């Protein structure tokens, strides 16, 4: 069994072969993950054969029924993974980092040097949306999702651009909490060796968000780009006709934050 410095795990069901190939290519060839583990929840195409094209870079697991996502994470990270670091990334999310780094390994090395004894690193989401919501998607995900829109993001996720995903160092037992255990769920898992994840600015986070969007964004080397690429009918039925949360008296405005390679490409 191979040992890896860093890998990502992905539970997927509703994507298609074209999008999944794009996702795999991005995380292998842009991010240079050492390994990817795919959990296939009964996709409607031959995802196993697609994964096999990448040989030992990608492993495959078939999952039936309605899986408990965070239980799957726990089981894999604690019992199957051989990586030093693991991060779950969904099939509509893309990891991106500063152009000064050539791989996600280099980014982690940077933060490990910055924060000695780092066990969990919190990475903020940046939510991107189609520029034209009244038409169904045309073309690749990374060309279709180009708008930064904090107001819409807040409809999808209470915490908007403050939400996070977490790199976890496998130095102790890891537990992703489910909704029955904590409302915010387990984006920052419990870890035997630490009290919380460390953000790029040194903030310790124990739930699934920063308390606020930082006023001065400095030294943030890595983000998770969340591409909401569903069509207008889905957006309208869920978030226009029946808004379930109040954004507040003051409508939030997007931060003017150009995030290196990916956003430069998209804009």
> Looking at residue 7, what is its pLDDT?
97
**Which pLDDT value is given to residue 207?**
85
Predicted confidence at residue 211, as pLDDT, reads: 81
3-state secondary structure 166-219: EEEECCCCEECCCCCCCCCCCCCCEECCECCEECCCCCEECCCECCCCCCCCCC
Strands 145-148 and 204-205 turn out to be: unpaired
What's the pLDDT tens digit per position in 170-215?
Answer: 999 999 998 888 877 778 999 999 999 999 989 999 988 888 776 7
> Where do the domains of the chain lie, and which CATH numbers do they carry?
4-266 (3.90.550)
pLDDT for position 146? 74
Residue by residue, pLDDT tens for the chain (267 residues) are 578 899 999 999 888 898 899 899 999 999 999 999 999 999 999 999 999 999 999 999 999 999 999 999 999 999 999 999 999 999 989 998 888 899 999 999 999 999 999 999 999 888 777 666 555 666 778 777 777 666 666 666 666 678 899 999 999 999 999 888 887 777 899 999 999 999 998 999 998 888 877 677 778 899 998 887 665 455 555 544 433 333 343 443 433 333 444 544 433
pLDDT of residue 53: 96
How confident is the model at residue 150, as a pLDDT? 63
In this prediction the pTM is: 0.85
């Amino acid at each position: 069994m191979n040992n890896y410095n860093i890998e990502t795990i992905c539970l997927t069901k509703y994507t298609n072969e074209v999008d999944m190939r794009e996702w795999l290519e991005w995380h292998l060839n842009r991010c240079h993950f050492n390994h990817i583990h795919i959990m296939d929840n009964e996709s409607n195409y031959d995802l196993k054969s697609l994964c096999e094209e990448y040989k030992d870079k990608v492993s495959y697991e078939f999952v039936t029924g309605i899986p408990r996502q965070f239980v799957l994470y726990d089981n894999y990270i604690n019992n199957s993974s051989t990586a030093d670091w693991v991060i779950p990334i969904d099939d509509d999310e893309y990891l991106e980092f500063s152009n000064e780094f050539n791989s996600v390994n280099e980014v982690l090395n940077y933060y490990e040097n910055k924060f000695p004894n780092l066990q969990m690193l919190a990475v903020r989401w940046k939510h991107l949306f189609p520029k034209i919501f009244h038409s169904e998607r045309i073309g690749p995900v990374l060309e279709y999702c180009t708008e930064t829109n904090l107001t819409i993001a807040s409809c999808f996720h209470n915490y908007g651009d403050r939400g996070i995903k977490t790199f976890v160092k496998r130095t102790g037992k890891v537990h992703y909490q489910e909704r029955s255990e904590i409302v915010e769920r387990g984006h920052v898992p419990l870890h035997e060796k630490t009290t919380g994840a460390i953000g790029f600015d040194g903030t310790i986070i124990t739930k699934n968000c920063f308390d606020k969007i930082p006023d001065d964004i400095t030294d943030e080397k890595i983000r998770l780009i969340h591409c909401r690429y569903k069509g207008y009918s889905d957006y309208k039925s869920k978030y226009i006709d029946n808004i379930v949360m109040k954004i507040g008296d003051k409508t939030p405005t997007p931060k003017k934050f150009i995030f290196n390679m990916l956003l430069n490409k998209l804009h």
